[in-house]
Amino acid sequence: MTGLDNEKHAEATKVEQTEVNKCSSCGGNTVFEPASGTLTCPFCGSEKDIEKSQKNAIEHDFLQALEKEDHSWDDEKRVFKCKNCGAETLLDKDKVADFCSFCGSSHIAITDHHAGIKPALVLPFQITKDEAIEKFKAWMKKRYFAPSKLIQSYKLDHLAGAYIPYWTFDSQTDSSYVVQIGTYYYVTETRTVIEDGKSRQVTEQVRKIRWHTEHGHYNKFFDDVLVKASRNVASGLIDKVEPFHLNGLVDYKMEYLSGFLAEKYSIPLKEGWNDAKAVIDNGITNGIHGQVYGDVVNIVSVSTDYDNITYKHILLPLWISSFQFNNKVYRFLVNGQTGKVSGKSPVSAVKISLLIGLVIAIIMVILFFLER
């Protein structure tokens, strides 16, 4: 395909996408509505169903993907890069980013970076923006050690719905291992002890370990090992809003992203496999421990062959925002499927001091009554 053909194809794709997201009643741009699961026109309220399917729940060959760079998402998306935090956001060809959903900065610009591998599956938003705000408010009210004036004075920044990239990996594993197995046995031993200045003989049972070495094999197929493909969402926060229920995954369609952002994966496929392999190796270790019998099992070595490695690129939904208090920014996340909230908030030194004082007072009262 020539450069001119590529340009015509990209323009045709852009026109096709624009037509897909146009309201058939008034011509306005429709957006995906989590509450109804439809494309909804914010101007006239018209709704259009999105046909759900799971035809793309197929695995792609990992080694082939490493050999051939995939730019199949470029026809639909263009990349904006934040000059403040480095996050790369994917938007429709006709959209412009006003701020970075990850750090709130307005210092963003279009880049010539490729969008990368197109997702196979997406988990559509089910929590609306208004619901996410209410979830956040309920979470905030439970910050018992936060300053009292926080609820009244915090300033909520942009709340953005963003699809976060993940990889899933499959692999058939064949492991050879060497283990040392210890079996407990007991012997009777006599020793001398000194009590009240006098020595006496004490006989007791002492536990010993008898060791032997075993060689073995462990085979297991690992299916859909899920690892994050994002460095821009704090792992400590995103881990606390997991899990996502992956049985809700459907084929990727650009309609699901209408009105939302998508993050370009910052952890590439090869690095994602290394993360997945660490999860797999831990599973193999646990499997070996469950396969051999002994009172103590020490794994000396494991050698694993990973065969038929396949992957999928999927998108999972998060509401991302922050709030300001005393000129400091605190980030928070809301799971776009379940509504679970995770974030950081300021802590009141006064409340902590009062708690410590109360605990000390209670201990002193208890000691007073114990000594009477």
pLDDT (tens digit per residue) in 295-344: 999 999 999 999 999 999 999 999 988 777 777 777 888 999 999 998 77
* d(C-alpha 128, C-alpha 136), whole Å: 12
**pLDDT surpassing 80 at residue 205:** yes
Determine the pLDDT at residue 363. Answer: 79
Sign of dihedral through CA atoms 35, 40, 45, 48?
Answer: negative
Please, are residues 42 and 31 in contact by the beta-carbon 8 Å criterion? yes
Report CA Rg, the chain: 29
Length of the chain: 372
Q: Is the full-model pTM beyond 0.85? A: no
Nearest to 228 by CA among 162, 310, 321, 316: 316
Residues 6 or more apart whose CB falls under 8 angstroms from that of 242 comprise 335
Determine the pLDDT at residue 184. Answer: 95
| pLDDT range class, residue 16, cuts 50, 70, 90 | very low
* d(C-alpha 210, C-alpha 295), whole Å: 10
**pLDDT surpassing 70 at residue 52:** yes
Per-residue DSSP letter, 99: S
Give the chain's mean pLDDT: 81
**pLDDT surpassing 70 at residue 59:** yes
**235 against 128, higher pLDDT:** 128
Determine the pLDDT at residue 337. Answer: 95
**pLDDT surpassing 80 at residue 368:** no
